[in-house]
Amino acid sequence: MRAFLIICAVLFTFGPADAAQYPSRPIIMVVPFAAGGATDVIARIIAEPMSRKLGQPIIIENVAGAGGTIGTAKVKAATGDGYTLITGHMGTHASAFSLYQKPTYDPRTDFEPVGLIASAPIVIFSRRDFPAKTLKEFSDELIAKGDNIKVAHSGIGSNAHLTYALFQNLIGAKSLEIGYRGNGPLMNDLVAGFVDYSCDQVITFAPQIESGSVKGVAIASPNRSPVLPNLPTTTEGSLPAFQADAWTALFAPKNTPADVLDIIYAAYLDALNDQNTQRRLLALGAGVPGSDQRSEVYFRQLVSDEVLRWSNVIKASGLALQ
């Protein structure tokens, strides 16, 4: 159905008036995190070819705070006219709904899903002198030493926060949690040996693992990453249940007209099919969604499934906030 609407809205001139005029001015793409992070980088990669297709500038607006929920709530309140979009991710549009006891939005109903942009597997990494050589040895060490092990995360609700909780639930460990205000200070302390380990998406920490500043333990994916080909997977490490992708996706405010959404969707597809876009995403270690992962039906189901999945993790870990 969407493909048919795209043809009507984009290729012909007899669509609704709003679609015929859209876009007539620059588009704001909100990134609910600070500039320079993984979500920001991915947003800028996708915005460039989409802007060419739409014939209007796409302006990145970074609205950071509260694990991305401030910027996300801002877009929820925006007019649904196609001139405000948001690049959300696993945290903002899945886990946040259960993490906060009084969430300010529901990712399943308060946004119009455009499409999945990229996914990046989670990697477990430790200080470089951590004695364990395999995932099994690493897990045994965490279980045996309990809160003598310091696990670091980059903020409440961050990828690191949620995925280390999932990992420790699966292996039955409980380490001492150390929170940081961002990845920079976390990495500084991990390199210095003040904390023992963390989990986060491969996009963010592959360079440090590759350089040996920190030690890669395993990647939470069924397949090895092309940017870290020597790092074993959790499946190889006999923990196949620990699979986690930090996905990033494009949303519009609720009630954005269907004809306008179809124009945006056409630009999104064009951007994903662009070889330079694919090259840049793959170079980061991100996966580009296949053709079967680019439909509205697939994406809506992904968001729904992820809300449920992380709700269960948060309840089991006692991570919910007031």
> What's the sign of the alpha-carbon dihedral 285, 192, 185, 178?
positive
Contact 148, 197 (CB under 8 A): no
Residue 10 confidence (pLDDT)? 44
Question: What CATH number corresponds to the domain at position 151?
Answer: 3.40.190.10
Nearest to 17 by CA among 252, 264, 257: 257
Residue 241 lies in a domain: no
Residue 304's CB: how many other CB atoms inside 10 A? 13
Residues 113 and 126 in one domain: no
Residues 106 and 156 in one domain: no
Per DSSP, 286 falls in state P
pLDDT tens digits, the chain, 322 residues: what are they? 555 444 444 444 334 445 679 999 999 999 998 898 899 999 999 999 999 999 999 999 999 888 889 999 999 999 999 999 999 999 999 999 999 888 999 999 999 999 999 999 999 999 999 999 999 999 999 999 999 999 999 887 788 889 999 999 999 999 999 998 888 899 999 999 999 999 999 998 999 999 999 999 999 999 999 999 999 999 999 999 999 999 999 999 999 999 999 999 999 999 999 999 999 999 999 999 999 999 999 999 999 999 999 999 898 888 876 5
Of the three residues 173, 200, 219, the one that is the final residue of a domain is 219
Residues 111 and 134 in one domain: no
Residue 226 lies in a domain: no
Nearest to 112 by CA among 259, 214, 219: 259
Residues 190 and 142 in one domain: yes
Residue 208 lies in a domain: yes
Residue 5 confidence (pLDDT)? 46
Residues 275 and 128 in one domain: no
Question: What CATH number corresponds to the domain at position 88?
Answer: 3.40.190.150
Residue 235 lies in a domain: no
Residue 141 lies in a domain: yes
Residue 234 lies in a domain: no
The count of structural domains within the chain is 2
Residues 199 and 157 in one domain: yes
Residues 134 and 116 in one domain: no
Residue 63 lies in a domain: yes
Residues 91 and 126 in one domain: no
Helices (H), the chain: 2-6, 17-21, 38-54, 69-76, 96-99, 135-145, 159-171, 183-192, 202-211, 258-273, 275-284, 296-317
Residues 293 and 189 in one domain: no
Residues 113 and 131 in one domain: no
Residues 158 and 22 in one domain: no
Residues 13 and 108 in one domain: yes
Residue 227 lies in a domain: no
Domain that holds residue 300: 2-120+246-317
